[in-house]
């Protein structure tokens, strides 16, 4: 049983398009995250939700809009895709918002913008 799942695994699209990535966790965790890992392998947090409430919103362009319909799901919609958006996007979850808890990552979505 997959703990944190993401779809799609690969996404190839043209500049200017709008795309969404979906994430689901079946661990019963309260907190979910989106991370971006660029070509230099640097993993940087984008957003964090706790019980469907946005807690962390890093300096991410407002073309990126997360949505959490319930505690188990956190989706990421990206408008007007740019070349620099090409990266691997990881969803993660942890039991609680407070630190000290293990984060469980999804398998990642490899986004390529042409």
Under the binding rule (CB under 8 A), the answer on residue 45 touching other proteins is yes
DSSP states of 80-96:
S--GGG-EEEEEEEES-
Q: Which stretch binds other proteins (CB under 8 A): 16-24, 38-46, 66-74, 77-85?
A: 38-46
Q: Which residues contact 41 (CB under 8 A, 6 or more apart)?
A: none
Under the binding rule (CB under 8 A), the answer on residue 66 touching other proteins is no
Q: How far is the CB of 10 from other proteins (least distance, A)?
A: 11
Let me know: does 9 contact 108? Beta carbons within 8 Å: yes
From 7, 19, 56, 86, residue interacting with other proteins (rule: CB under 8 A):
56
Sheet order of strands, 73-78 included? 4-7, 19-25, 73-78, 64-70
From 16, 17, 18, 44, residue interacting with other proteins (rule: CB under 8 A):
44
Residue carrying the six token digits 């990266």 = 87
* Residues binding other proteins (CB under 8 A): 33, 35, 40-45, 48, 55-56, 90, 97-100, 102-103, 105-108
């Amino acid at each position: 049983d997959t703990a944190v799942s993401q779809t799609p695994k690969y996404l190839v699209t043209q500049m200017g398009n709008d795309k969404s990535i979906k994430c689901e966790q079946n661990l019963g965790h309260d907190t979910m995250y989106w991370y971006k890992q660029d070509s230099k392998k640097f993993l940087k947090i984008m957003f964090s939700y706790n019980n469907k409430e946005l807690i962390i919103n890093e300096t991410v362009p407002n073309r990126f809009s997360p949505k959490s319909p319930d505690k188990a799901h956190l989706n990421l919609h990206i408008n007007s895709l740019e070349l620099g958006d090409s990266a691997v996007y990881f969803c993660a979850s942890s039991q609680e918002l407070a630190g000290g808890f293990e984060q469980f990552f999804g398998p990642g979505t490899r986004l390529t913008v042409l």
